[in-house]
Amino acid sequence: MRNAALMLGIIAGLMGIVVGLFGYGYAELLVARPEVNNLFSLDNPGLTRFASFMAPLLAIAGGAMAKARALWGGGLLLVSSALFYTAFGFNVGTMFPIGFAALGGILAIAAGKPDEPKAHF
């Protein structure tokens, strides 16, 4: 389960980088050109910029930590999934990063009895 969490976290982070680039760019466009905000509004551009950077970072870090520290890695993956959902919502661009990060987090936390002699519970 730890290997699956590792792979899902890294894949979610890589997909999230693409989502984050578009999200950050769109938030910056709305700041630079306020007239665009009349067509497509953004409630909180600060949250969008923050989540555009932090959510993929947390997903990759959580996936990388899932093998050695499954509880911490799983927590980071779940926080990443929540950040993606809060900032961008659930849509066609975010469904896979949210799903992969959430599933990876659940699998990492569920790996209570690892193959290694040191458990996180």
* pLDDT digits 0-9 by tens, 71-120: 999 999 999 999 999 999 999 999 999 999 999 999 999 986 655 556 55
Which residues contact residue 38 at a Cβ distance below 8 angstroms, ignoring those fewer than 6 apart?
Answer: none
27 C-beta neighbours (distance < 10 Å), count: 21
Residue 22 CA: distances (Å) to CA of 3, 15, 31, 84, 98:
29, 11, 14, 13, 16
pTM: 0.88
Strands (E) located in the chain? none
Look up residue 13 and give its amino acid.
G
Place of tokens 């929540």: 82
Give the per-residue pLDDT at 84: 96
Map residue 77 onto helix, strand or coil: helix
For the stretch 39-44, contacts whose Cβ atoms lie closer than 8 Å and that sit 24 or more positions apart, written own/partner, are 44/87
Per the prediction, the chain carries an average pLDDT of 89
